[in-house]
Amino acid sequence: MMRLYLKESPGGFAPRPPPERAALDRHFRAGAIALCVLLALAGCKKADMYQQQSYRTYDRNPGLPGDTTEQNPVEHTVAQEQPDTPVPQPAIATAQTLARGQQRYDIFCTPCHGTTGAGDGMIVLRGFPHPPDFTSERLLRATAQHFYDTITYGKGDMYSYAARVPPSDRWAIAAYIRALQLSRHAVIAALPQQDQALIASAEPTR
């Protein structure tokens, strides 16, 4: 049976080289690959940056003060595990506190809790466990201290924000969570007379 050796070329199919040439080509290719592998392996020789001299904590080290590797931490170093100093809850939440709380909340909490606190942040929409709505009965009754503590220690699937949100900001955020709760659970009777009258006279929105 006759065999056709065809090879694709820009102009269409061209006859392939005869089998002896093909075998030669194969040998050449195998040689080239072996050379590349050899070169690549040569590149694996550990470079100096990789095999540099290293010191363990208690090794003698003539380059450092006291000729020892272990050195005292620099002044004002704070241990990572050191609990932060709690700040007492401010007596009132000023507009400034709320603005700060909103800004911090928007940065750190909206990804999960959402801008209204309903627990529908972007990460949750993509599958993260749904946090409770801040306007749930239980959280409406929760103390500001509970919000502060949740930020400090985390809860369940929510990790601690102690390292990112300093104590005074935790109170600011707690105040802002209250504002979020009020924004969807305002009791009209609790408003000043003037505001109640304004609401009563308002046109319903369409």
Binding site for ligand HEC (CB under 6 A): 108-109, 111-113, 123, 128-129, 131-132, 147, 150-151, 155-158, 161, 165, 173
The phi, psi pair for 198, rounded to 5°, reads -60, -45
Q: From the CB of 38, what's the least distance to ligand HEC, in Å? A: 50
| Strand ranges (E), 89-171 | none
CB 137 within 8 A of CB 131: no
Report, in angstroms and rounded to the nearest whole number, the Rg of the chain calculated over CA atoms: 35
């509970």: which residue's tokens? 146
C-alpha to C-alpha distance for 121 and 116, rounded to whole angstroms:
9
Q: From the CB of 78, what's the least distance to ligand HEC, in Å? A: 21
The burial of 170, by beta-carbon neighbours within 10 Å (0-12 exposed, 13-18 middle, 19 or more buried), is given as buried
Question: H-helix or E-strand containing 200?
Answer: helix 193-201
Of the two residues 13 and 159, which places its CB atom closer to ligand HEC in the complex? Answer: 159
Of the two residues 16 and 139, which places its CB atom closer to ligand HEC in the complex? Answer: 139
Q: From the CB of 185, what's the least distance to ligand HEC, in Å? A: 15
DSSP label at residue 14: E
Q: From the CB of 102, what's the least distance to ligand HEC, in Å? A: 12
Q: From the CB of 148, what's the least distance to ligand HEC, in Å? A: 9
Of the two residues 61 and 158, which places its CB atom closer to ligand HEC in the complex? Answer: 158
Question: H-helix or E-strand containing 22?
Answer: helix 19-43
Of the two residues 123 and 140, which places its CB atom closer to ligand HEC in the complex? Answer: 123
Q: Which residue is nearest to ligand HEC (CB)?
A: 156
Question: H-helix or E-strand containing 12?
Answer: strand 12-15
Question: H-helix or E-strand containing 98?
Answer: helix 95-108
Of the two residues 118 and 147, which places its CB atom closer to ligand HEC in the complex? Answer: 147
Of the two residues 61 and 108, which places its CB atom closer to ligand HEC in the complex? Answer: 108
Q: From the CB of 96, what's the least distance to ligand HEC, in Å? A: 19
